[in-house]
Structure 1
Amino acid sequence: MQAFAALLDALLFTGSRNAKLRLIGDYLRSTPDADRGWALAALTGGLDLKAVQPSLLKALVTARVDPVLFALSHDFVGDLAETISLLWPGVPVSEGAPSLDEVVRRLSGLSRAEAPAVVEALLDSLDPQGRYALIKLATGSLRIGVSARLAKTALADAFGLDVEAVEEVWHGLAPPYATLFAWAEGRAPAPLASDLPVFRPFMLAHPLEETPLDLDAYVAEWKWDGIRVQLVHAGGETRLYSRSGDDITASFPDVAAAFATPAPFPATLDGELLVRTGDAELAAASFNALQQRLGRKAPAAKLQSEAPAFVRLYDALAVDGADLRAEPWTVRRAALEGLVSRLDPTRFDVSPLIEAADWTALEALREGARDAAIEGLMLKRRDSAYIAGRRAGLWYKWKRAALTADCVLMYAQRGHGKRSGLYSDFTFGAWSEDGALLPVGKAYSGFTDAELNGLDRWVRSHTVARFGPVREVEKTYVVEVAFDSLHLSKRHKSGLAMRFPRFFRLRPDKPADEADTIATLMAMVAD
């Protein structure tokens, strides 16, 4: 456990990507099997220790430490694990701290009733660094600047493997990954992904920055505003994966069932998960409609009926046992169009191609696309193979221009991690007809470090009220906010919900009473 704690500590204070790769690689090479397997699972988000909740940890620490001291410390530090690890009373560390394998096995399968005593004993057996690692591990929120892809790349680099080969078999393996490390060290052959419904890494696009492109070499299609998914049917099983490789089959059983019937055939397809607006044809609703179903692990039949999901297909990675990823886009597109007739037409269709006489005409189509379910355009080389990750020159995303509005800052909250000492999460509003300022969104990006420092100073000197970690500020500071779309919302007092809001420009020079109104924003609402 102490070695894992030291790794987390080093990663937390390392900004360099290459340095992080070396740290993880060194740890994986020098650590015994079970420990390094659980560490890799933690770094890639593969651990879920449900019995340990933040509420349990707070109850344990406030039973030993003054609750007011804890609350004030947590508010200032901003990170639960760091606060508890430092405040936990100085019980002498017992000889022989538990291994990472011991910790995971003790925490796995705990009942809620057993959890307090076990977690308390583990905290007592570790030093502050170990306690920090324990809490991060148990709550599943490492927040150390390491993505799942980076951890897999570190594994591949450390043992001379191809990271795409690792990704290929990843979802067929389970922690602590004894099979994976046996392969990595040459003690066993590579695990096979054949006949298993495993996830294949998505091909991704670069933002289009230089225009125009040669439309004889590239094809255009709409970039739909849902969530990217991969449908897999193999070995008699069906899976639905998100872009990050999470298995979301249980959240969309209607789609999975439709893909497995009436005559299932082995295939791996790439597409966009959307919600239907009508029964006659697959008209896509806005992302706001899809949000009703996201995150629900067992959606009720009523919800499935009211918000029926479907997949608009982009690509075919494999069909009838043949891997098509090395084939050019034209061949894969023909295969996709040939198989769609074998699928349920109420659940699947093919994303249409866009015909444009020239680049000027295509640009006009993009600018005019304010459909609620369209984000912009995708441009794909006709001869491109399906290659995992982003490869320059093959696929581009060309999003429509963002909408903007002038809004007034209303509330600010301190951030987490490196931003725990700064007010970096901002709620902003627009004016109603009767002159009230109503919240319309919240953003924590879009500003430079220098601008954030300036905003933090402004918040501290213009606070009018405090509500725990939140400060209400004078309604005088205007910011220009960019967002992808606006939707009606019953959950917000303003009746509006912004999609991907972020700061676009600071406007402290502009009078607050000249900021935009709710009526102006209502005119931007997507249908």
Structure 2
Amino acid sequence: MPAFAELLERLVFTPGRNAKLALLGQWFAGQPDPDRGIGLAALTEELTFAAAKPAMIRELVAARTDPELWRLSYDYVGDMAETVALIWQPRAGINAPPPTLGDIVAALETTPKSDIPALLAGWLDTLDAGGRLALIKLLTGGMRVGVSARLARVALAEWSGQKVEAIEEVWHGVAPPYAPIFAWLEGRAPAPDPRDSPVFRPLMLAHPLEAPDLAALRAEDWRAEWKWDGIRVQLTAGPGGRRLWSRGGEDISAAFPEILAAMEFHGVLDGELLVVRDGEVAPFADLQQRLNRKSVTARMQRDFPAAVRLYDLLFEGAEDLRPLPFDARRARLEAWHARTAPARMDVSPLVPFDSVDALSRIRDGARAASIEGLMLKRADAPYLAGRTKGLWWKWKRDPLTVDAVLMYAQRGHGKRSSFYSDYTFGVWREDGELVPIGKAYSGYTDDELAWLDKWIRNNTVNRFGPVREVERGLVLEVAFDAAQLSSRHKSGVALRFPRIARIRRDKPAEEADRLEAVMALIGDRPAD
């Protein structure tokens, strides 16, 4: 555990991607099994401990700490795990060695639920503040050290010399602590064989289309599809089971049981998850009602019916179609769909065009059709993992913008953990009240982030744990893809993909946009 605590601390205070990769490589090389695999699973949020809940940890602290001291400390620190780590008072005379990650996992799997509080208290007594923080983060999740599952797999690739695509092909077929993967990467065993298991295959991604790229296009070499306003998913099904994956390889099957039930085939498909009513694609806000849920009710399935618009066929049965050109895969997809006719799935239509100018006019109409834009794919392009420039382009409609007033700020994560980088902003109602319409944490440069951080610290008027309320004096130009009605926000509206376009130091806060101007961008859409 002390080694894992040191890793977490160094990751938090290491902003650079390459430096994080180096730290992870040192962890893989220096730690034994199963500790290195358990640590890897914890960083990528693949570990869950059903019996060790935050409420249990708070009860342990309450038994040893004055409640008013706990309340004040928690309010000041703003993070439960960090507060416990700092305030915990170990019992005198404890000389037991700190537990290893393997000890912790093994004990939690075998200890009766009634005995777990005493077990946790004993571990907390043997650890210093850093170790206590690492233990609580391990048990409750939410590491927030700037390590994604993708970054962890890249670190494995750099450490071992294997291609990251090869690691991703087997990743979901092996459970933590990943002993077969480490044995393969160290040359002690062959690569794990996922066989017919429903493993995630790395997606092919597109680059944004810029003006020079557009000028170089020859219409006859390309195929166009609509870029639908849902989330990219992969469907994998076969003798080993069925899974619905997000673009990042997260298993979202539980939230969409009706899609899983329709996957009565053996293959791997690429598509867009949408809410579709009577053949019409619903706003993204409707799909958000279904996302990030561990289960859904029959009513939710009825009110927000999910469907998948298919883009590509990666595997048909056990046959890998990814090396084929796009046109060949498209023909196979259409034939497969006509033959299989899976429920809740259709094929995304190709958009006909005979010139780049014609395609540009089609793209200009995307907003009126409530579509994000266009995808352009080379007719001869194989399906390659990752983002290979020149094979797929995404040509999104131009963003909308609004001038909003900064209301609240919160520190970021990873390399931004020392900066106030997450911003809640709002617009004025007719009665003069400022109401929030969204939150953004991207779009600015490093210099702008430093300026914003300093401004926020100098203009804070109130604090709510980790959140600072600021003087209503700074206008931000916010770019976004769409505005949608929302019953969950006081303003009644929510923005899709907001990001900071620029800081309007030249504009007085009272001249920021009004709520009615934002509402006018919505059109006739149902409230969520």
Q: How far does residue 374 in structure 1 lie from its aligned partner after superposition?
A: 2.2
Contact 1:285 1:372 in 2 (8 A): no
Residues 1:422 and 1:40: Cα distance change in structure 2 (over 3 Å): closer
Q: How far does residue 131 in structure 1 lie from its aligned partner after superposition?
A: 1.8
Q: 2:213 aligns with which of 177, 190, 211?
A: 211
Q: Verify: 1:8 aligned to 2:5, yes or no.
A: no
Specify the alignment match of 1:308 in structure 2. Answer: 305
Q: Distance in 2 between matches of 1:476 and 1:109?
A: 56
Contact 2:263 2:342 in 1 (8 A): no
Specify the alignment match of 1:237 in structure 2. Answer: 241
What letter is aligned with 2:117? P
Partner-residue secondary structure (3-state), 1:426: strand
Specify the alignment match of 1:433 in structure 2. Answer: 430
After the TM superposition, which parts of structure 1 deviate over 6 Å for at least 4 consecutive aligned residues? 109-112
Contact 1:78 1:415 in 2 (8 A): no
Specify the alignment match of 2:253 in structure 1. Answer: 249
Alignment of 1:106-505 (within 5 A): 106-108=107-109, 113-209=114-210, 210-212=212-214, 213-235=217-239, 237-260=241-264, 264=265, 266-278=266-278, 281=279, 283-344=280-341, 347-370=344-367, 374-415=371-412, 419=416, 422-505=419-502
Contact 1:5 1:133 in 2 (8 A): yes
The CA RMSD measured in Å over matched residues stands at 2.6
Q: How far does residue 316 in structure 1 lie from its aligned partner after superposition?
A: 0.6
- My pick for the range that moved more, 86-95 or 150-159, is 86-95
Contact 1:37 1:177 in 2 (8 A): yes
Could you report, residue by residue, the CA deviation over 1:331-378 in whole angstroms, capped at 9, with x for unpaired residues? 111101111123446511111112223222222322321157522221
Partner-residue secondary structure (3-state), 2:426: strand
Could you report, residue by residue, the CA deviation over 1:372-405 in whole angstroms, capped at 9, with x for unpaired residues? 7522221212111111111122212222111101
Q: Distance in 1 between matches of 2:146 and 2:441?
A: 17
Q: How far does residue 66 in structure 1 lie from its aligned partner after superposition?
A: 4.7
Specify the alignment match of 1:41 in structure 2. Answer: 41
Q: How far does residue 416 in structure 1 lie from its aligned partner after superposition?
A: 5.0
Q: Distance in 2 between matches of 1:274 and 1:339?
A: 21
- My pick for the range that moved more, 501-510 or 465-474, is 465-474
Residues 1:78 and 1:472: Cα distance change in structure 2 (over 3 Å): closer
- My pick for the range that moved more, 38-47 or 83-92, is 83-92
Gaps (5+ residues) in structure 1?
none
**TM-score, normalised via structure 2 length:** 0.90
Partner-residue secondary structure (3-state), 2:64: coil
Residues 1:223 and 1:465: Cα distance change in structure 2 (over 3 Å): same
Residues 1:219 and 1:483: Cα distance change in structure 2 (over 3 Å): same
Q: How far does residue 241 in structure 1 lie from its aligned partner after superposition?
A: 1.3
Q: Distance in 2 between matches of 1:515 and 1:20?
A: 40
What letter is aligned with 2:362? L
Contact 2:411 2:419 in 1 (8 A): yes
Specify the alignment match of 2:23 in structure 1. Answer: 23
Could you report, residue by residue, the CA deviation over 1:476-527 in whole angstroms, capped at 9, with x for unpaired residues? 3222111111111112222111112222121232233322122111111154
What letter is aligned with 2:451? G
What letter is aligned with 1:241? W
Q: Distance in 1 between matches of 2:160 and 2:422?
A: 41
Identity across the alignment (%):
56
Q: Distance in 2 between matches of 1:327 and 1:28?
A: 36
Contact 1:259 1:343 in 2 (8 A): no
Contact 2:399 2:481 in 1 (8 A): yes
The alignment covers a number of residue pairs equal to: 520
Q: Distance in 2 between matches of 1:114 and 1:243?
A: 40
Q: Distance in 2 between matches of 1:438 and 1:392?
A: 41
Contact 2:313 2:333 in 1 (8 A): yes
Residues 1:83 and 1:412: Cα distance change in structure 2 (over 3 Å): same
Q: Distance in 2 between matches of 1:344 and 1:139?
A: 43
Q: How far does residue 101 in structure 1 lie from its aligned partner after superposition?
A: 0.4
Residues 1:236 and 1:170: Cα distance change in structure 2 (over 3 Å): closer
Q: How far does residue 323 in structure 1 lie from its aligned partner after superposition?
A: 0.7
**TM-score, normalised via structure 1 length:** 0.91
Residues 1:365 and 1:67: Cα distance change in structure 2 (over 3 Å): farther
Q: Distance in 2 between matches of 1:235 and 1:134?
A: 39
Q: Distance in 2 between matches of 1:256 and 1:180?
A: 28
What letter is aligned with 2:37? G
Contact 2:90 2:126 in 1 (8 A): no
Q: Distance in 1 between matches of 2:380 and 2:422?
A: 44
Specify the alignment match of 2:517 in structure 1. Answer: 520
Q: Distance in 2 between matches of 1:93 and 1:219?
A: 69
Q: Distance in 2 between matches of 1:111 and 1:511?
A: 61
What letter is aligned with 2:301? Q
Contact 1:40 1:151 in 2 (8 A): yes
Contact 2:459 2:471 in 1 (8 A): yes
Q: Distance in 1 between matches of 2:112 and 2:519?
A: 49
Partner-residue secondary structure (3-state), 1:302: helix
